[in-house]
Structure 1
Amino acid sequence: MIRAIVVFLGLTLVGLFALLNWDAFTTPTALSLGVTTVQAPLGLVMLGMLVFFSVVFVVWAMSLQAGALMEARRLTRELQTQRELADKAEASRFTELRAFLSNELSTVSVAQEQMRAVLVSRMDRVQDAARASQEETANTLSAYIGELEDRLERARVVPAQYERNDVLVSR
């Protein structure tokens, strides 16, 4: 913005200078074009060249700015396209991750259920073995006690008040 103001101020000063010295600008002079010589006002020729190059500069600056603007729009569209692709890729990665986690959790759940079933069956077998061992121990103990009672009865060490069925007989 400041550059435009400086250029406009410079052109205004040149125009003011030309206006103040208009008689000198319009005085015809002999100008050499290399091949021939012509009579023309040097000030107007120079002023015309300044205007021509100013117009060329303005057109060039506008075309440069328009090209930059078009490039910026193209890059913005391309960036938007890339952003959409990245969003889709990220969404697909989240979907894949969700499917993977779901699959892994179901696998872990099945494995946990199988392990629970194995543990329950082992506990049942251990409980059955403990029960059988307890019954065997009880039977063995009963047999030993029965044998001791028989020996004591034969030896007549057992008092008469006790019967074989371990029932207390009243006196």
Structure 2
Amino acid sequence: MRTILLLIIAVLIGGLAVLNWETLSTPSEVNLGLSVIHAPLGVLMLGLTVLLCVLFVAYVLSMQGSVLLEARRHNKEMAAQRELADRAEASRFTELRQVLERQHADGQTAVMVRLAELESHLIARAQESDNSNAAYMGQLEDRMRHADTGPRSVL
């Protein structure tokens, strides 16, 4: 929108200059402060306007160039920061994996120790049960032997 407005103003100034060229190019006395010269005042003013436009365009282009360079530098810094963040995140994932593996190994060791304890308790209980059963069987055998050797009643 601004560009279109500026183009319309430039076309109007150019059209006005073309339509009034004879008036613009009429020589007159121009006071420069220190001296007075004979020159067409309109052409002089038109030349200063063109010079001002050229300087303005150069200023805008230099500003746009500096903004582009700053944006490029900013993008490079952002990419470097993103890379650092990705490395830090990867490092955290690696540390987390090591911690989880260590915890898993510790848990597995604890389970194996507990399983070995339970197995030894189970073996001990099985031996106690076998001993108890053997003792009961021995007592039953003793009773049966005493019952066989003792008096028998006839019915």
TM-score (norm 1): 0.80
2:58 corresponds to: 59
Secondary structure at 2:153's aligned position in 1?
Answer: coil
Q: Summarize the alignment of residues 3-152 of structure 1 with structure 2, pairs less than 5 Å apart.
A: 3-148=2-147, 152=150
Deviates more, 1:72-81 or 1:137-146: 137-146
Q: Measure the CA separation in 2 of the matches of 1:9 and 1:80.
A: 42
Q: Deviations over 1:116-146 (max 9, x none)?
A: 1111111000000111111112223333444
1:158 corresponds to: 153
Query: Tell me, which stretches of 5 or more residues in structure 1 are unaligned?
Result: 161-171
Secondary structure at 1:34's aligned position in 2?
Answer: coil
Secondary structure at 1:40's aligned position in 2?
Answer: strand
Q: Measure the CA separation in 1 of the matches of 2:154 and 2:86.
A: 98
Identity of aligned residues (%): 35
1:149 to partner: Cα distance? 5.1
Q: Deviations over 1:56-109 (max 9, x none)?
A: 100000001101111111111111111222222222222222222222212211
Number of equivalent positions: 155
Deviates more, 1:96-105 or 1:13-22: 96-105
- Which one-letter code corresponds to 2:27 in the other structure? P
More helix by share: 2
Secondary structure at 2:38's aligned position in 1?
Answer: strand
Structure with more relative contact order (C-alpha pairs < 8 Å, separation 6 or more): 2
TM-score (norm 2): 0.87
Query: Tell me, which stretches of 5 or more residues in structure 2 are unaligned?
Result: none
